Amino acid sequence: MVEPVSLNHYRDDQLWAVIASIGRTTRIAAVFSSRLAALSDREWREQQVKDYANFLRSSRQPAPYYSVKPIKRAELPRSWRPLPALGFLQGQFS
């Protein structure tokens, strides 16, 4: 997995976000300086969800959908922190 960009050291305004969605709720899961890194992270997160597919079905929990989109630094909430790939299992999604 590619490490997310440190927002303290990165000053470019154009970033790429991995967006996690469950129903109408969306969260910025991770932020990267390149689209390729964001796509790689999205694939890794999707694989983690696939690995836990049976558990999700048995617990009747919806699986998140991941997408990638460009964002600006100003669009990140001040208290934003990366979302673990399986954070939704521990109640960290809402």
Q: Does 5 reside within a domain? A: no
Q: Does 9 reside within a domain? A: no
Q: Does 54 reside within a domain? A: yes
pLDDT (0 to 100) of residue 69:
96
SS3 35: helix
The domain in which residue 84 lies consists of: 14-90
Query: What span, in angstroms and rounded, lies between the C-alpha atoms of 20 and 89?
Result: 13
Would you say residue 91 has pLDDT above 60? no
What letters, b where the CB count within 10 A reaches 16 and e where it falls short, cover 51-82?
ebeeebeeeeeeebebebeeeeeeeeeeeeee
pTM: 0.75
Query: What span, in angstroms and rounded, lies between the C-alpha atoms of 56 and 28?
Result: 21
Which tokens belong to 43? 């694939």
Using a pLDDT cut of 70, give the percent of the chain over it. 79
